């Protein structure tokens, strides 16, 4: 990112030169001291000469280059100032909170800005503006427009030992018990030998006991080991913090962990657990034009999913869900939402009616209700009661709800044991 400064103007040295010459001239005239008046003449001449010179170019350029973070929870940015000026005044705003004003040499070593992040997702790591100056600050360039470096901060995942899966697995290779006939799974049945069956699968005991005619052979058939299809659907309509008093204010510095922080953490944890089990993962952001990543497996696919999750921010106001994203047959779908809005629950109910295994992941954080007025407390109780009705409707439709709070691994493990 580069921005050049514009026109040149007089600096503080010129102003101080004129002021000093005027003060000395006034003092000399009042005291009838021509020597004091003569002392101010060089200052005035130097100031006039500095204003008349145009051969010095005060152009400066600021460049912001992201560099890998050295510590978790921080973002590092390389700030480089180049140009034709002697030096530059650099103003840096880190993470929208701390402002630094520096006088730096031009074309020198870069400055490393280290910013601590309070939230995951898209974060403005650094904002910077530069102004070059020359001739000992007698000539100043105009301040440049502000440039910024936006970084996508990944959430720290929770290890999940098990995930709820669909009861209708249709994959051909994997680590889960499937419904099709194959190899590697549990006992399926005893069946008459047909062309294509392997002789090593003949069950001689069953043949001796159950064969009806001489020459009949019975084989022992098993289920195949199948992979699963996991779909992560993120609702980004709301970003609600732990401190209820900050809802709607946009003050994410004092809000605590937000619902989107938990949603990004839950999405990354689910994706990592599915990929580790050899399953396929797809991602859908439930807004019009939201990011969609098709189903895939492997570490490279997980890196793409993680990058998309880290780049997911809050949707704009009044952004509706235009359509239900397509999902593979027999998928286990995780809907991540606060469930204040009925749109996410409607999509979850639609997927459940289509026969998919649906898990509602509640990403509303633990609420801090301090500093609320009586009216705000009443409003909060009302919206929470409406949310409970939505969650009750989901449970009635056979959708499990997992709150992303506390021991989420145990909650997910308990949900995985239930068959839907």
Question: What would the DSSP string read from start to end of 197-208?
Answer: --GGGB-HHHHH
CA angle 336, 338, 343 (to 5 degrees): 80
Euclidean distance between CA atoms 381 and 401, whole angstroms: 20
Query: How many other C-beta atoms can be found within 10 angstroms of the C-beta atom of residue 183?
Result: 11
Q: Are 384 and 397 in contact (CB under 8 A)?
A: no
Question: Using 50, 70 and 90 to split pLDDT, how confident is the model at 222?
Answer: low
Q: Are 144 and 131 in contact (CB under 8 A)?
A: yes
pLDDT at residue 278 in the model: 82
Is pLDDT larger for residue 346 or for residue 197?
346
The 3-state DSSP composition of the chain as helix, strand, coil percent (nearest 5) reads 30, 30, 40
Residue 411 has pLDDT above 80, yes or no: yes
pLDDT at residue 6 in the model: 42
Average pLDDT (18-26) is 73
Euclidean distance between CA atoms 352 and 345, whole angstroms: 10
pLDDT at residue 7 in the model: 47
Most confident of 12-26, 67-81, 216-230, 366-380: 366-380
Is pLDDT larger for residue 198 or for residue 225?
198
Is pLDDT larger for residue 17 or for residue 341?
341
DSSP 17-64: HHHHHHHHHHHHHHTT-HHHHHHHHHHHHHHHHHHH-------EEEEE
Residue 5 has pLDDT above 60, yes or no: no
Average pLDDT (48-71) is 70
> What average pLDDT does the structure give for the chain?
80
Residue 183 has pLDDT above 60, yes or no: no
DSSP 143-193: PPPPEEEEEEEPPPPPP-S-----S----SSSSEEEEEEEEEEEEEEEEE-
């Amino acid at each position: 990112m580069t921005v050049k400064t514009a026109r040149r103007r007089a600096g503080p040295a010129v102003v101080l030169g004129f002021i000093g010459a005027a003060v000395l001239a006034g003092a000399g005239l009042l005291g009838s001291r021509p020597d004091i008046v003569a002392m101010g003449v060089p200052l005035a001449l130097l100031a006039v000469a500095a204003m008349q010179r145009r051969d010095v170019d005060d152009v400066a350029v600021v460049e912001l280059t992201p560099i890998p973070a050295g510590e978790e929870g921080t973002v590092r940015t390389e700030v480089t100032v180049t140009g034709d000026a002697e030096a530059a005044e650099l103003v840096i705003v880190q993470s929208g909170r701390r402002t630094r004003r520096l006088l730096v040499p031009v074309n020198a070593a870069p400055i490393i800005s280290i910013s601590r992040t309070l939230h995951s997702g898209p974060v403005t790591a650094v904002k910077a503006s530069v102004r070059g100056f020359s001739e000992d600050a007698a000539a100043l360039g105009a301040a440049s427009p502000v440039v910024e470096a936006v970084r996508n901060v990944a959430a720290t995942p929770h290890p999940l030992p098990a995930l709820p899966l669909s009861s209708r697995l249709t994959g051909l290779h994997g680590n889960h018990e499937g419904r099709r006939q194959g190899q590697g799974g549990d006992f399926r049945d005893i069946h008459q030998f047909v062309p294509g069956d392997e002789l090593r699968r003949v069950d001689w005991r069953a043949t001796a006991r159950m064969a009806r005619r001489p020459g009949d052979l019975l084989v022992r058939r098993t289920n195949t080991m199948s992979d699963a299809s996991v779909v992560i659907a993120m609702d980004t309509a709301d970003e609600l913090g732990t401190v209820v008093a900050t809802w709607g204010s946009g003050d994410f510095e004092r809000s605590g962990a937000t619902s989107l922080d938990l949603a990004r953490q839950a999405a990354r944890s689910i994706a990592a657990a599915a990929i580790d089990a050899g399953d396929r993962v797809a991602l859908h952001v439930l807004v019009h034009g939201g990011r969609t990543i098709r189903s895939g497996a492997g570490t490279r696919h997980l890196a793409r999913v993680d990058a998309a999750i880290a780049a997911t921010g809050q949707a704009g106001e009044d952004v509706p869900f235009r359509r239900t994203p397509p999902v593979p047959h027999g998928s286990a779908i995780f809907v991540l939402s606060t469930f204040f809005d009925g749109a996410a629950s409607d999509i979850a109910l639609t997927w459940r009616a289509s026969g998919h295994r649906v898990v509602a992941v509640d990403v509303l954080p633990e609420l801090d209700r301090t500093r609320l007025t009586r009216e705000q407390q009443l409003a909060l109780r009302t919206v929470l009661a409406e949310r409970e009705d939505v969650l009750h409707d989901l449970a009635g439709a056979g959708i499990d709800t997992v709150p992303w709070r506390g021991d989420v691994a145990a909650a997910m493990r308990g949900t995985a044991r239930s068959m839907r």
